[in-house]
Structure 1
Amino acid sequence: MPDPRPEVLDFLLTRRSRPAKTLAAPAPAREDLIPLLTAAARSPDHGKLEPWRFVVLERLALDRLAGLVRARGAALGEAEETIAKAAAAYADSPLAVAVIASPKPSEKIPESEQLLSAGAVCLALLNAALAAGWGANWLTGWPVYDRGFLEDGLELAPHEQVAGVIHIGTETVTPPDRPRPDVDAITTWVRA
């Protein structure tokens, strides 16, 4: 017999990310962030490989990364508007957690499943932050696909990549809800 948790289901049915540009200080302190990371680390992980890790980006690190985005963007010939938008995501964020996909060698668990596990960690961290009352948003952007940014800015190993950057802070505005998928249109029921 199921043991329903209607308050959890209600949260999931009404959850709404907060645009990163609307987040402000204060951000969670270390002691506030640890339970959120702990909740995220409980994500499905076939084979118990822990094919992900966290890089917590505090204020000074975010400023450094904003500068690196500007430098890398110029070196790559990105448009000034594209560079400015990506740099602002770091410069304006009160705190961010980069979820690093770090696949492990495994004969049983394909890398694709390990990457999906890292994505599950991103969503779990986002939801944990929202459930704890923080504003939060999951972003990526062109810098996380640039090896120079990943290696110089985040010191990632060659086999690692960013699954997502979860920005966390204090909500300054409540955004309106947006249209949601039509579940009937995207669901197929297989009876036999």
Structure 2
Amino acid sequence: MAIKLLCGDITQANVDAIVNAANPSLLGGGGVDGAIHEAAGPELLTACLEIKESHGMRCPFGEAKITPAGKLSTQYVIHTVGPIYMRSNTPQKTLLSAYRNSLNLALHHKCQSIAFPAISCGVYGYPILEAAQIALTECSRAKYSELTIEFYLFDKHMFEAWSQVAQSLENTG
């Protein structure tokens, strides 16, 4: 098993699946969601529109859906919706579910590698260190040992925070 932390652009990841920190509509948005939709081209939006909508959502909070990746150099985009931290009654549970469901979809589709952003750490306001702890702990489970997991962290501050948590987990593991 390999978990790598990188400071960079997730749309450039050379993996089987890129995880999109999406909103429930899956129709694009800001941050990483907007960047992935822009890089993938209109094919990604078309694939998202084919996902059945229920109560105004194509992907509820904590769940994950998979689509082809459009113009990206990856095979799949796994869309997951993390919690809006200040509005969620159970943000830890929802964030854990977003990572777990994304990883399980990747395994189900026989992916060998996956790239994640820092789900919910942007405009959704999740505290960075707590999010890193949840994500890295879940991704370190033996169940996912066949996957190469990369985290694309969008700036130096985010990268350093996640690196601190990764080091702490190595020291206690």
Normalised by the length of structure 2, the TM-score is 0.31
Greater C-alpha Rg = 1
Q: TM-score, normalised by structure 1?
A: 0.28
